Amino acid sequence: MKLSLFDYALLKSSIAQTPTKPRDHSRLMIFDKKSNKIIHDKFFHLTKYLTPNDVLVFNNSKVFPARLLGQKESGGKAEILLLRKFEDNNWESLLKCRNPKSGLKLRFKRELEAMLIRKLSAKTWLLRFNGKQLSFYSILDKIGLVPLPPYILSREKQIKLKRQYQSVFAKFTGSSAAPTASLHFTKRLIKQIQKSGCQKEFITLHVGLGTFEPVNTEVVENFKIHEEWLSADNETIRRLLKAKKSGKRIIAVGTTSVRALETIFSGYPRKPEKLFSKFTNIFIYPGYKFKFVDALITNFHLPKSSLLMLVSAFAGRMKILELYRQAISRKYRFYSFGDAMFVK
Has residue 149 been placed in a domain?
no
DSSP assignment string, 251-320: EEESHHHHHHHHHHTTTTTSPPPSSEEEEE-----TT---SS--EEEEE---TTBHHHHHHHHHH-HHHH
Count of Cβ atoms closer than 10 Å to residue 245 Cβ? 10
Has residue 187 been placed in a domain?
yes
Question: What does the pLDDT read at residue 122?
Answer: 80
Q: Does 230 score more than 80 pLDDT? A: yes
Structural domain range at position 250: 3-63+163-343
pTM exceeding 0.85: yes
Asked if residue 257 lies in contact with residue 57, where contact means CB atoms within 8 angstroms, the answer is yes
- DSSP β-ladder status, 340-343 and 295-299: antiparallel
Q: Does 156 score more than 60 pLDDT? A: no
Has residue 19 been placed in a domain?
yes
Q: Are residues 59 and 31 in the same domain?
A: yes
Q: Which residues of 207-223 are buried (b: 16+ CB within 10 A; e: fewer)?
A: bbbbbbeebeeeebeeb
Asked if residue 305 lies in contact with residue 299, where contact means CB atoms within 8 angstroms, the answer is no
Q: Does 159 score more than 70 pLDDT? A: no
Helix boundaries (H) for 153-233 = 158-164, 187-196
Structural domains in the chain (count): 2
Sequence-distant (6+) residues with CB within 8 A of 271 are 237, 241
Q: Are residues 138 and 81 in the same domain?
A: yes
Q: Are residues 71 and 59 in the same domain?
A: no
Question: What does the pLDDT read at residue 312?
Answer: 98
Q: What are phi and psi of 18, to 5 degrees?
A: -140, 155
Q: Using one digit for the tens of pLDDT, what is the confidence trace for 68-84?
A: 999 998 999 999 989 88
Q: Are residues 11 and 90 in the same domain?
A: no
Average pLDDT value for residue range 234-263: 97
**Which CATH number does the domain housing residue 87 bear?**
2.40.10.240
Has residue 314 been placed in a domain?
yes
Q: Does 158 score more than 60 pLDDT? A: no
CA 87 to CA 278: how far, in whole Å? 16
